[in-house]
């Protein structure tokens, strides 16, 4: 709650005066149900989400990728900040956590925008870069679309079976077709995600990385950092150093929540 400001009062002031009063009720519901979960601290910070919502609207983002869903706070924020025909590819190996927030997402009337893929993110991004896109009839539910994704990984040759079900695999140019990506998962892969997302997100689009100030530990001497935070801190610091010289993107580090790095693809 103290956040990066290192001032409990100031962080509380911003949240209570400027963030919570404007937080959509469905997002508050996800925040409330998540508060009872043992890993509640993983949820994206509400002030970060508020900034992301503004970025999504400024961009008029329609096609987005989300890596690291957990109970769906940032995912619901994205769904609420994009148009009715938006398409959000949301990737997380933990479907159980997603299902905690799913009834709230359904009640908010935005589930149709979400293609949840229960998987590690790297193979999904690689598949997208192979230009594979799945078209399935809208009456199939999300479990089914996720199932199809996995099945297809094993069985590209079973096309007649899928054709019978009304599903087709279409070669599509995925490169440069996404407006926005949000990365909030395994920190050791941030550079791997960056390389792939730079191809998937269009020139002018944004890739936003969460937790890039890692609770302020990036400026602490290593010996002062709690043991369980050390490894991810190293990855984050390596990412921060590397991204600062990447001329393919403009960057801005915003000290909201746990710190986010906003990258705008420029070539
Ligand atoms: C910090 S939480 C995401 C929080 C989420 N943005 C929210 O607002 O609630 C990190 C999530 O990343 C997921 N994750 C871990 N490794 C992953 C990977 N290799 N690919 C995709 N997701 C992963 C975890 O299961 C966890 O749900």
pLDDT in tens, 91-141: 999 999 999 999 999 999 999 999 999 999 999 999 999 986 555 555 554
Nearest CA to ligand 1 atom 26: 70
The finding on whether 261 has its CB within 6 A of some atom of ligand 1 is no
Tell me, yes or no, whether 147 and 57 share the same domain. Answer: no
pLDDT-above-70 percentage for the chain: 84
- 171 or 54, greater pLDDT: 54
Cα(178) to centroid(ligand 1), Å? 20
Going by C-alpha positions, the residue among 75, 155, 82, 84 that lies closest to residue 117 is 75
Tell me, yes or no, whether 164 and 82 share the same domain. Answer: no
Kindly state whether residue 40 falls inside one of the protein's structural domains. yes
The finding on whether 125 has its CB within 6 A of some atom of ligand 1 is no
Tell me, yes or no, whether 203 and 234 share the same domain. Answer: yes
Tell me, yes or no, whether 38 and 148 share the same domain. Answer: no
Tell me, yes or no, whether 97 and 66 share the same domain. Answer: yes
Tell me, yes or no, whether 15 and 60 share the same domain. Answer: yes
Tell me, yes or no, whether 32 and 62 share the same domain. Answer: yes
Kindly state whether residue 21 falls inside one of the protein's structural domains. yes
Distance of CA 249 to CAs 51, 209, 239, Å?
19, 13, 14
Cα(237) to centroid(ligand 1), Å? 19
Mean pLDDT of the chain: 90
Tell me, yes or no, whether 213 and 261 share the same domain. Answer: yes
Cα(165) to centroid(ligand 1), Å? 32
Tell me, yes or no, whether 19 and 39 share the same domain. Answer: yes
Q: Which of 172, 201, 231 is the last residue of a domain?
A: 172
- 7 or 45, greater pLDDT: 45
The band of 152, judged by pLDDT with boundaries at 50, 70 and 90, is: low
Residues 6+ apart with CB under 8 A from 2: 8, 11
Could you report the per-residue pLDDT of 211-254, keeping only the tens digit for each?
999 999 999 999 999 999 999 999 999 999 999 999 999 999 99
Kindly state whether residue 2 falls inside one of the protein's structural domains. no
The band of 192, judged by pLDDT with boundaries at 50, 70 and 90, is: very high
pLDDT value for 123: 97
The finding on whether 61 has its CB within 6 A of some atom of ligand 1 is no
Per DSSP, the three-state class of 225 is coil
pLDDT value for 170: 54
The finding on whether 120 has its CB within 6 A of some atom of ligand 1 is yes
Tell me, yes or no, whether 147 and 188 share the same domain. Answer: no
Mutate to test the pocket of ligand 1, among 45, 50, 70, 257 (most ligand atoms within 8 A of CB): 70
Tell me, yes or no, whether 12 and 92 share the same domain. Answer: yes
Mutate to test the pocket of ligand 1, among 37, 43, 46, 68 (most ligand atoms within 8 A of CB): 68
Q: Measured between alpha carbons, how far is 165 from 53 in angstroms, rounded to an integer?
A: 37
Cα(193) to centroid(ligand 1), Å? 13
The finding on whether 92 has its CB within 6 A of some atom of ligand 1 is yes
Kindly state whether residue 31 falls inside one of the protein's structural domains. yes
The finding on whether 95 has its CB within 6 A of some atom of ligand 1 is no
Domain encompassing residue 165: 132-172
Residues 6+ apart with CB under 8 A from 34: 40, 43, 70, 71, 73, 100, 101
Tell me, yes or no, whether 112 and 207 share the same domain. Answer: yes
Kindly state whether residue 34 falls inside one of the protein's structural domains. yes
The finding on whether 71 has its CB within 6 A of some atom of ligand 1 is yes
Kindly state whether residue 3 falls inside one of the protein's structural domains. no
Nearest CA to ligand 1 atom 13: 68
Q: Measured between alpha carbons, how far is 42 from 223 in angstroms, rounded to an integer?
A: 24
Place of tokens 């938006």: 86
CATH of the domain at 65: 3.40.50.150
Kindly state whether residue 164 falls inside one of the protein's structural domains. yes
Could you report the per-residue pLDDT of 26-63, keeping only the tens digit for each?
999 999 999 999 999 999 999 999 999 999 999 999 99
Number of domains in the chain: 2
Kindly state whether residue 195 falls inside one of the protein's structural domains. yes
Could you report the per-residue pLDDT of 255-267, keeping only the tens digit for each?
999 999 999 999 9
Going by C-alpha positions, the residue among 244, 245, 262 that lies closest to residue 208 is 262
Ligand 1 atom with the shortest distance to the CA of 70: 27
pTM of the model: 0.88
The finding on whether 200 has its CB within 6 A of some atom of ligand 1 is no
């Amino acid at each position: 709650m103290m956040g990066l400001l290192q001032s409990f009062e100031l962080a509380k002031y911003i949240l209570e005066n400027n963030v919570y009063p404007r937080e959509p009720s469905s997002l508050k519901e996800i925040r409330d149900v998540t508060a009872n979960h043992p890993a509640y601290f993983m949820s994206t910070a509400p002030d970060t989400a508020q900034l992301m919502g503004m970025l999504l609207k400024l961009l008029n983002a329609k096609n987005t990728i989300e890596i690291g869903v957990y109970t769906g706070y940032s995912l619901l924020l994205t769904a609420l900040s994009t148009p009715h025909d938006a398409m959000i590819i949301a990737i997380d190996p933990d479907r159980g956590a997603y299902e905690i927030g799913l009834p709230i997402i359904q009640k908010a009337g935005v589930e149709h925008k979400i293609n949840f893929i229960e998987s590690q993110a790297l193979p999904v991004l690689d598949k997208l870069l192979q230009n594979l896109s799945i078209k399935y009839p809208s009456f199939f539910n999300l479990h089914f679309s996720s199932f199809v994704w996995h099945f297809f990984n094993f069985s590209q040759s079973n096309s007649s079976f899928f054709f019978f079900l009304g599903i087709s695999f279409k070669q599509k140019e995925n490169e440069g077709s996404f407006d926005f990506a949000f990365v909030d998962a395994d920190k050791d892969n941030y550079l791997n995600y960056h390389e792939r997302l730079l191809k998937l997100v269009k020139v002018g689009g944004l890739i936003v990385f969460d937790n890039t100030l890692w609770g302020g530990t990036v400026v602490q001497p290593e010996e002062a950092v709690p043991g369980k935070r050390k490894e991810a801190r190293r990855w984050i610091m390596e990412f921060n150093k590397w991204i600062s010289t990447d001329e393919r993107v403009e960057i801005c580090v915003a000290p909201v929540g746990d710190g986010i790095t906003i990258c705008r693809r420029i070539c």
